[in-house]
Chain A
Amino acid sequence: MKKGFEAKNSSILIAKDLVKTYPPYQKAVNRISFSVEKGEFVFIVGKSGAGKTTLFRLLSKQEEADSGQIFINGNDITRIPPKRGYLVRRELGVVYQDFKLIHYKTVYENISYALEVQSVPDRKIRKKVDEVLQVVELSHKRKALPLTLSGGEQQRVAIARALVNRPLILFADEPTGNLDWDTSWEILKLFMAINCQGTTIVMATHNEKLLQLMKLRTIVLEQGKKTDEIFY
């Protein structure tokens, strides 16, 4: 087990001294630094309020850091104006605890939407969505509405939507938080399979049992600070 921050050239994600303060003085993220290698699967753990979600929001350019830098594939995304943040998000995949699916769109439409926003032609969309539906084993549910699916299936749709762009990094913010143990394990196996195909994954969780089973590199957050980094 070793500790400390050491950014390498092969790092696909580098966070340097990230700080985010919410009014009046609450430091949600306090000088956090770490790096993630290409193809790595990293866990970020911490109790509620530790700063995991804020960190994810900064990394996916949903919010702006007060100070610090974030390099994704060598590009400093903190220098990109917030209005153009959508360009960064197109390069990333983000999966949320509450799935964030559009209820009036079918499974197919929810996934294809991530490509539609990039003006991808319909023919290419069909091909890509079909591929990704096979990965998450939901081809038979393509016309179903999200609310008719189980929690695990909804999360798989969300994963498919995050994957359809072939993202540089897949961020997953407590993706198993709303699921029972068996379903969580299924979702985690899916993430492992995706990771094996070369996608870098950064996942936030507070599920101790999963961490014990996976034994992967883990960054520990407490009250907005990185307190530990565990390498297995």
Chain B
Amino acid sequence: MRFFIDLRRSLREAMVVFRRNGLVSLGCIVISTVALFSFSVILLMAVYVRFGTISIGDRLNVTAFLEATLTHEEVNTILVRIRHLPETKDAVYVSPEEALRELKSKFHDLEIDASPIPPSVRITPGDTAYVPVLIAQLTELEGVSSVTDITEAASNFFGIVQIGTILGIALLLIFFAGFLFIVSASTGISIYSFRREIEIMQLVGASRTFVQNPFIILGSLYGLIGALLSSLFLIPSYQRIDNFYHAFIAFDPIPLDEYNILSRIILLALLVGLATGWISAKQSVRRYLK
């Protein structure tokens, strides 16, 4: 009962402070919106870049050419062994006839009837970092005559992905720290204008929790409204980024729609906005409680 009485009073007090601090409240919401929108866009871009690299990485296949004299059973045994390698994500057998069809589809004026390409297994590595190990293991397999060496391409790609990942994380952290600082500062300004009232509240016997609660609700409200507004702006940005991505990477094997990227980022933005508002308000009001 006491809890509900206090909660109702804290909510009412938070609304009073929100209204009385009209301009500062508006400023806090705008700042939260801009900061959360920037954070969400950077996060969205980071997600698409990550998917892009995975998608490109998937096309870095290793081909193991088999000896032409192998029986059907022997080919099957090799295929099973390759599929069981821990570095293998997927392995597909390509017969000489299929290889010829692919070749003809790329070079239309090619006039040959017998396939010059031996039977092969096309392997997708679990990660581009596994390529050197995978090639070494394939080379040692009995019945494998040669393996296409894409180690250099893979290591270059792996390097780019690593740099991209580090840069992405650094950028996200910088943005997040900036966001925290800006939201804390603006919430702090809002609470600063109530420092006298905070002192009076304590003088009449209000507990720390009772004094803090309205301001924590206020901070959370700033964060929540900021997150909702930033989500509204994020929807058109998402569509643009998504269109650009699909124009850039055609025939993407990753079913992006299944990941609900937008709704996940919106949910994250709401949580981040709420938590940041909460924490920054708690920190700011603590200063005046000492």
Binding site for B on A (CB under 8 A): 60, 62, 83, 86-87, 89-90, 94, 100-102, 104, 113-114, 116-119, 121, 161, 165
In the bound assembly, the distance between CA atoms of A161 and B204 in angstroms comes to 8
In the bound assembly, the distance between CA atoms of A100 and B195 in angstroms comes to 12
Binding site for A on B (CB under 8 A): 2, 5-6, 9, 16, 20, 197, 199-208, 210
In the bound assembly, the distance between CA atoms of A39 and B257 in angstroms comes to 77
Q: Is the CB of B203 within 8 A of A117?
A: no
Q: Is the CB of B197 within 8 A of A117?
A: no
Q: Which residues of A contact B9 (CB under 8 A)?
A: 116
Q: Is the CB of A117 within 8 A of B206?
A: yes
Q: Which residues of B contact A119 (CB under 8 A)?
A: 2, 5-6
Q: List 26 A-B contacts (CB under 8 A).
A: A60-B203, A62-B203, A86-B202, A86-B206, A86-B207, A86-B208, A89-B202, A89-B203, A89-B205, A94-B203, A100-B203, A101-B200, A102-B201, A104-B16, A104-B20, A104-B197, A113-B201, A114-B204, A114-B205, A117-B201, A117-B205, A117-B207, A118-B205, A119-B2, A119-B6, A161-B204
Whether A100 touches B206, Cβ cut-off 8 Å, given contacts A116-B9, A119-B5, A119-B6, is: no
Q: A100 is contacted by which of B6, B16, B20, B200 (Cβ under 8 Å)?
A: B200
Q: Is the CB of B5 within 8 A of A102?
A: no
Which single residue of chain A is at the shortest CB-CB distance from B208? A83
Which single residue of chain B is at the shortest CB-CB distance from A84? B207
CB distance from B253 to the nearest CB of A (A): 59
In the bound assembly, the distance between CA atoms of A111 and B205 in angstroms comes to 12
CB distance from B285 to the nearest CB of A (A): 15
Q: Which residues of B contact A113 (CB under 8 A)?
A: 201, 204, 206
In the bound assembly, the distance between CA atoms of A165 and B204 in angstroms comes to 10
Q: B5 is contacted by which of A62, A114, A121 (Cβ under 8 Å)?
A: A121
Whether A165 touches B200, Cβ cut-off 8 Å, given contacts A104-B20, A119-B5, A121-B5, is: no
